[in-house]
Amino acid sequence: MSSNDFRELMDAMADPLVACDGGEYVLYLNPAAERLLGWTLPELVGQPFSLLLPSRLCSFDGQTFLRYLLGRRRALSGRPVRTSLLRRGGPEMELEVTVGSSGEVGGERISLVLRRPPEFPDYTQEPMERLSSAVHTRTVSPISAGERAYQLVFENAPLGLLHFDTTPTLLACNDYFVRILGSSKRMLIGLNLLSLQSESIMGCVRDVLDGRHAYFEGDYRAVTSGKVTPVRARFAPCFNEKGEVEGGVGIIEDITAQRSAEAERGRLLREAQEAIRVRDDFLTIASHELKTPLTPLSLRLASLERRLERKEPVDPTLLRHARQHLVRLAALINDLLDASRIEAGRLALHFEPMRLDNIVEHVLTGMDAERGQHRIDYAHPAEPVRIRGDPYRLEQVIANLLENALKYSPGDSTVRVTLDMRGDFALLSVADEGIGIPRDQQELLFERYFRARNVSVTSYGGLGLGLYISRDIVERHGGRIWVESELGRGSTFYVALPLLSEANPTPPEPTHPTTGSPQQVH
């Protein structure tokens, strides 16, 4: 392996690494060691390793720190030694150190792998040698009940917990915090918090080091993993006996679930507000629609009553108009009842073999009184169209489509009706030359109480229930109903119903039908 390859390998190590020559002068430290010790490679190269040692640890039994550790490698059997090193600027930190050497005298290389000890060491494992100012023995104090309780709270808290010093380097964190950031604890411990990409978090850390509490809520993008997590964070300073800040602690809460719950509550609130708006609109429209036939009906009945009292002859026109208003009023009430039955699943259908072409012709004949100046062109099918359905309900669907076509079309325009057979289906179309329907509202047209935004309540009557009821009837016949429309250029409604000879065919896709020669109905 070349020296460059070896350098790249050491740079990629997650654990901090320091290399010295035989004279114990620093030759190299990798980026992880730079973050941990607070020194950069150019600043520390050529400096004695003792620069990183507290004065009390510079010699042991007449030996330097490194020579002492090298002499005890066999006794340690590869286990790390727990000791203290200095960060740049003076603060001590407790580390686990594993030391090794290679090469001959004159070309010797001493390497040290550094690692922060766990916040709560496992004292059930074989004890680790610990170096102190006076003695170096294999003694470890048993963990107290209080420390055990603190450990359990720290590791199992349903919040992310962290502790950092004044440098500010992350000294400890629990597994919840690790999960939030989406990185490993080994990568996080020793991380300088001012290297984070979040200006808000770094501002909180600076406030804590100045002795103030801090708060942050927002999206955090992890430096190591790029994971984005919505968090709520609270930071507080830690003070020593002299009242000086010696670091800080943080509590991090993952608020993803709360954000989702808030979004769901917002959605439900919007839906409730929309439902209230629809209800209010419907009550306004229903009130207008029900009053419209009642007022003239009441006037005509009063006129008839006066004529009868005076024993004057009764004008048949008054009776005819009164009956028309009663029919309209009954139709509105029936629509309300049908919509209620559909919602409750109680709209009854009575199926029987029937001819759809006869139903269409019967509806067209009944539209004579409502046609006014409109022309209706009907293209007959070449042969009888037999289906299995409910004649009364299908007549209701066809009548609704024709009434809409007449209602939304200019008075002298033409409504074209076509019925033919397409494969296993009967296809009925009703085309008008009216106001058209906005494209983004065509899918909503068959919803209950829906009215397109270009429809005036006062100019065009109706409760917005006819197409809703028609869709339910058609779909329960195994068919499909849809619309093709362009603003200002009219609309064409299609109804596809399975022919009597087929059991469960699939309705055809919405396409413009090829119509035959129209026959005008006068």
> pLDDT category, 428, cuts 50, 70, 90?
very high
* Other Cβ atoms within 10 Å of 162 Cβ, number: 23
- Kindly tell me if the per-residue pLDDT of 33 is higher than 50: yes
Contact predicate 482/352, CB 8 Å: no
* Dihedral sign, Cα of residue 467, residue 472, residue 473, residue 476: positive
DSSP 169: B
Q: What's the one-letter identity of residue 236?
A: A
Residues 6+ apart with CB under 8 A from 13: 30, 32
The residues pairing with 64 across neighbouring beta strands, listed in sequence order, are: 59
For the cut 90, the answer to whether the pLDDT of residue 357 exceeds it is yes
Which helix (H) or strand (E) covers residue 342, if one does? helix 316-344
pTM: 0.43
Say which residue, 494 or 124, is predicted with more confidence. Answer: 494
Confidence class for position 138, pLDDT limits 50, 70, 90: very low
Reported as a single tens digit per residue, the pLDDT across 60-117 is 778 888 988 888 877 776 778 888 898 887 678 888 888 888 877 678 888 999 987 7
Per-residue tokens: 62: 């007449």
Locate 438 and state its tokens. Answer: 């906005």
Nearest Cα residue to 472 out of 331, 281, 341: 341
Q: Which residue has the tokens 């309705």?
A: 507
Residue 293: φ, ψ to 5°: -80, -25
CA geometry: angle at 386 spanning 383 and 391, to 5°?
125
What are the phi and psi torsion angles at 157 (to 5°)? -65, 140
Range from 176-180, 324-328, 447-451, 508-512 carrying the lowest mean pLDDT: 508-512
Q: What is the pLDDT of residue 292?
A: 61
For residue range 446-474, what is the model confidence (pLDDT) as tens digits?
Answer: 887 666 544 544 444 556 788 888 999 99
Query: In this structure, which long-range contacts are made by residues 256-264, counting pairs with CB atoms below 8 Å and at least 24 apart in sequence?
Result: 256/229, 256/230, 259/230
Half-sphere exposure (Cβ direction) of 120: Cα atoms closer than 13 Å: 17
Average pLDDT over residues 277-297: 64
pLDDT at 420 over 70: yes
Average pLDDT over residues 273-288: 68
Residue 472 pairs in a beta bridge with none
pLDDT grade, residue 286 (50/70/90)? Answer: low
Kindly state the average pLDDT of the residues 256-283.
83
Is pLDDT larger for residue 42 or for residue 310? 42
Whole-angstrom CA distances from 267 to 270, 273, 276, 279, 441 are: 5, 10, 14, 18, 20
At residue 394, the pLDDT reads: 94
What is the percent of the chain where pLDDT is above 70? 79
Res 502: pLDDT:
54
| Mean predicted lDDT score pLDDT of the chain | 79
pLDDT at 348 over 70: yes
Strands 109-115 and 17-21: antiparallel
Q: Phi and psi of 413, rounded to 5°?
A: -90, 175
CA-nearest of 504, 501, 483, 480 to 492 is 483
Q: What is the pLDDT of residue 142?
A: 45
What are the backbone angles phi and psi of residue 197, rounded to the nearest 5°?
Answer: -85, -10
- Residue 513 predicted with pLDDT over 50: no
Are 479 and 497 spatial neighbours (Cβ–Cβ below 8 Å)?
Answer: yes
How many whole angstroms separate alpha carbon 69 and alpha carbon 98?
Answer: 9
In this structure, of 15-24, 234-243, 338-347, 377-386, the range with the lowest mean pLDDT score is: 338-347
Confidence of residue 238 (pLDDT cuts 50, 70, 90): very high
